[in-house]
Amino acid sequence: MPNSPVHPAPIYRVRVAVPVYLYDGFDYMLSAAEYQQAAVGARVLVSFGRQNLVGIIIEKLPPDHPLDPKIKLKAISELLDQQPILDQKVLTLLTWSAQYYQFPIGEVMHSALPSLLRQGRPYNLLARMWKLLDDQAEAKLKRSEKQQEAYKVLKLHPSGTSENILNLAGIETATLKALEKKQICYCDLEQQDFSPVPMTLAQMPLTPNSDQKRAIETVLKAQHRYQAFLLDGLTGSGKTEVYLQIMQEVLKQGKQVLVLVPEIGLTPQTISRFQSRFHCHIALLHSGLNDSKRLQAWQAAQTGKASIILGTRSAIYTPLPNLGLIILDEEHDLSFKQQEGFRYHARDVALYRAHLEHCPVILGSATPSIDSYALTEQGKMIRLELNQRAGPALMPKIHIIDLKVAQKQQGLSLLLIQEIKKRLQKKEQVLIFLNRRGYAPVLVCDSCGWQAQCPHCDANFTLHHSPYTHLHCHHCGTIQRKPEQCPQCQHNELKTLGMGTAKVEENLQQLFPDYDVVRVDRDSTSRVGSWQKIYDRIQTSQPLILLGTQMLAKGHHFPYVTLVAILDIDAGLLSVDIRAPERTAQLIVQVAGRAGRGEHKGDVYLQTLRPDHPLLSTLVEQDYRAFARQTLKERQAALLPPFRYTALIRCESKSQEQNQQFLQQHAQWLRENSEQLIDIWGPIPAPMERKAGRYQAHLVLLSQDRARLHFYLRAWWQNMLHHKPSNMKLSLDIDPQEFS
Ligand code: ADP
Ligand code: ZN
Ligand code: ZN
pLDDT of residue 528: 58
Environment class of 492 (CB within 10 Å of its CB; exposed 0-12, middle 13-18, buried 19+):
exposed
Rounded to the nearest angstrom, the distance between the alpha carbon of 446 and the centre of ligand 2 is 7
- Give yes or no for residue 238 CB within 6 A of ligand 1: yes
- Give yes or no for residue 75 CB within 6 A of ligand 1: no
pLDDT reading at 30 higher than 90: yes
Binned at pLDDT 50, 70 and 90, residue 7 comes out as: low
Once rounded to an integer, what is the mean pLDDT over residues 153-181? Answer: 84
The one-letter amino acid code at 367 reads: T
pLDDT of residue 739: 84
Binding site, annotated residues for Zn(2+) = 445, 448, 454, 457, 473, 476, 486, 489
pLDDT reading at 1 higher than 70: no
Ligand 1 pocket: which of 241, 259, 558 to mutate (most atoms within 8 A of CB):
241
Binned at pLDDT 50, 70 and 90, residue 8 comes out as: low
Cα–Cα distance list, 38 to 14, 32, 61, 318 (Å): 8, 10, 11, 22
**Structure confidence by residue, pLDDT tens digits, 676-720:** 889 999 899 998 999 999 999 999 999 999 999 999 999 899 999
Dump strand ranges (E) for 210-348.
Answer: 227-233, 256-260, 278-279, 282-285, 308-311, 323-329
pLDDT reading at 562 higher than 70: yes
Rounded to the nearest angstrom, the distance between the alpha carbon of 450 and the centre of ligand 3 is 17
pLDDT reading at 317 higher than 70: yes
Cα–Cα distance list, 150 to 103, 175, 255, 717 (Å): 47, 7, 31, 57
DSSP states of 65-127: S---TTS-PEEPSEE--SS-SS-HHHHHHHHHHHHHTT--HHHHHHHTS-HHHHTT--S-PEE
**Structure confidence by residue, pLDDT tens digits, 496-540:** 988 888 889 999 999 999 998 988 877 666 665 677 777 788 888
Ligand 1 pocket: which of 204, 240, 386, 387 to mutate (most atoms within 8 A of CB):
240
Rounded to the nearest angstrom, the distance between the alpha carbon of 241 and the centre of ligand 1 is 6
Which ligand places an atom closest to the C-alpha of 238? Answer: 1
% residues pLDDT > 90 (the chain): 60
Phi-psi region of 158 (alpha: psi -120 to 50; beta: other; left: phi over 0): alpha
Pick the more confident residue, 316 or 267: 316
**Structure confidence by residue, pLDDT tens digits, 39-48:** 999 999 999 9
**Structure confidence by residue, pLDDT tens digits, 342-362:** 999 999 999 999 999 999 999
3-state secondary structure of 480: strand
Mean model confidence pLDDT for the chain: 89
The one-letter amino acid code at 335 reads: S
pLDDT reading at 5 higher than 60: no
Residue nearest to atom 21 of ligand 1 (CA): 390
Residue nearest to atom 10 of ligand 1 (CA): 236
Which ligand places an atom closest to the C-alpha of 215? Answer: 1
Pairing of strands 12-17, 51-61: antiparallel
Binned at pLDDT 50, 70 and 90, residue 597 comes out as: low
* Among the ranges given (42-51, 85-94, 339-348, 596-605), the one the predictor scored with the smallest mean pLDDT: 596-605
pLDDT of residue 57: 96
pLDDT of residue 613: 92
Once rounded to an integer, what is the mean pLDDT over residues 556-573? Answer: 86
Pairing of strands 470-472, 462-464: antiparallel
- Give yes or no for residue 329 CB within 6 A of ligand 1: no
CA 349, 112, 33, 20 torsion-angle sign: positive
CA 231 to chain centre: 19
Residue nearest to atom 5 of ligand 1 (CA): 238
pLDDT reading at 460 higher than 90: yes
Which ligand places an atom closest to the C-alpha of 694? Answer: 3
Closest-lying ligand 1 atom to the alpha carbon of residue 557 = 7
Tell me how far apart the alpha carbons of residues 587 and 333 are, in angstroms, rounded to a whole number. 10
Cα–Cα distance list, 679 to 127, 645, 646, 721, 735 (Å): 56, 10, 9, 21, 15
Cα–Cα nearest to 266, from 172, 354, 174, 333: 333
Binding site, annotated residues = 445, 448, 454, 457, 473, 476, 486, 489
